[in-house]
Amino acid sequence: MSDHSLDQLKEAVYAANMQLVRAGLVVLTWGNASGVDRGRGIVAIKPSGVAYDALRPKDIVLVSLETGEPLPGERLRPSSDTPTHVCLYQRFSGIGGIAHTHSRYATSWAQACREIPCYGTTHADTFHGVVPLCRPLTPEEINEGYEWNTGVAIVEHFAANDLDPLHVPGTLLPFHAPFAWGATPAQAVEHAIIVEEVAGLAWRTEQLNPQAVTTPQSIVDKHFLRKHGKDAYYGQPKT
Ligand SMILES: [Zn+2]
């Protein structure tokens, strides 16, 4: 498995993992990023427990999109969160990268078991509504398959609330931390940075005004839809 496209995928996933560190979202080894090659049915993800200082592109582990198992010949064990990533890739067909961190503000909201309200346009530019909070897992789900069932809980929450994962590119896990995703590993990292930024802004907003109101839907729609969707007009036209 050393052909060019898989090497490129490993490079992209390596770069995404290192960008999580540079962005200040990861302490110790508390984070991981992945990418998928849907044509070949392969997910590339950070190895488990490897320090970022020591991480090299060749250490990125390739696993099957169908089974989550490492491909034959892989030397390192994939991230322990691999089943969550694989579940999300299987069920959210439009995503190409995932980033999981324990970034401070977003994790604080997750530990407080609160979704992040949309208090302004910084948030609405990327999230068409709240940054959601999934339900906690049952003891049976935790014992039976904690990481896989974490993915299932995310997918269920999005289905039950009619959320489009491309319009809401991340979520909080109660008592845990955020997951973010995007079209590519790099965009997943960008969305993880945005989740952390809006989490910090929302926290400060509530400190300054405990009665702060959430952004009117018309402003949320305006800001999200001018950047996303068929009538988007933010930025330069795509050529
Ligand atoms: Zn975690």
Q: Where are the domains of the chain?
A: 4-227
CA of 179 to the centre of ligand 1 (A): 8
- Class of CATH domain 4-227: alpha beta
Ligand 1 centroid to residue 31 C-alpha, Å? 6
The three-class DSSP label of residue 202 is helix
- Measured in Å, residue 23 CA sits from the centre of ligand 1 at 17
| C-alpha 134 to ligand 1 mean position (Å) | 14
Helix and strand totals (H; E) in the chain: 7, 6
Lateral strand order in the sheet of 170-172: 61-64, 42-45, 31-37, 97-101, 178-182, 170-172
Distances (CA, A) of 2 to 10, 68, 73: 10, 19, 11
Task: Tell me the whole-structure pTM to 2 decimals.
Answer: 0.93
Q: Is the pLDDT reported for residue 127 higher than 50?
A: yes
Span from the CA of 109 to the centroid of ligand 1 (angstroms): 14
Q: 4 CA distance to ligand 1 centroid (A)?
A: 31
* CA 141 – CA 93 distance, rounded (Å): 24
105 is a catalytic site residue: no
Q: What is the pLDDT of residues 81-122, one digit of tens each?
A: 999 999 999 999 999 999 999 999 999 999 999 999 999 999
3-state SS, residue 33:
strand
First-to-last C-alpha distance (Å) of the chain: 34
From the candidates 7, 37, 59, 125, which is the catalytic residue?
A: 125
What distance in angstroms lies between residue 101's CA and the mean position of ligand 1's atoms? 6
User: Which 3 state secondary structure label does DSSP give 224?
Assistant: helix
CA distance 81 to 170: 16
Gap between the Cα atoms of 142 and 157, Å rounded: 17
Q: Which pLDDT tens digit goes with each residue over 1-48?
A: 457 889 999 999 999 999 999 999 998 888 999 999 999 999 999 999
Q: Annotated catalytic, 234? A: yes
Q: CA 174, 176, 178, 179 torsion: positive or negative?
A: negative
Using pLDDT thresholds of 50, 70 and 90, give the confidence band for residue 234. Answer: confident
DSSP helix/strand/coil, 151 = helix
- Predicted confidence (pLDDT) at residue 151 exceeds the cutoff of 50: yes
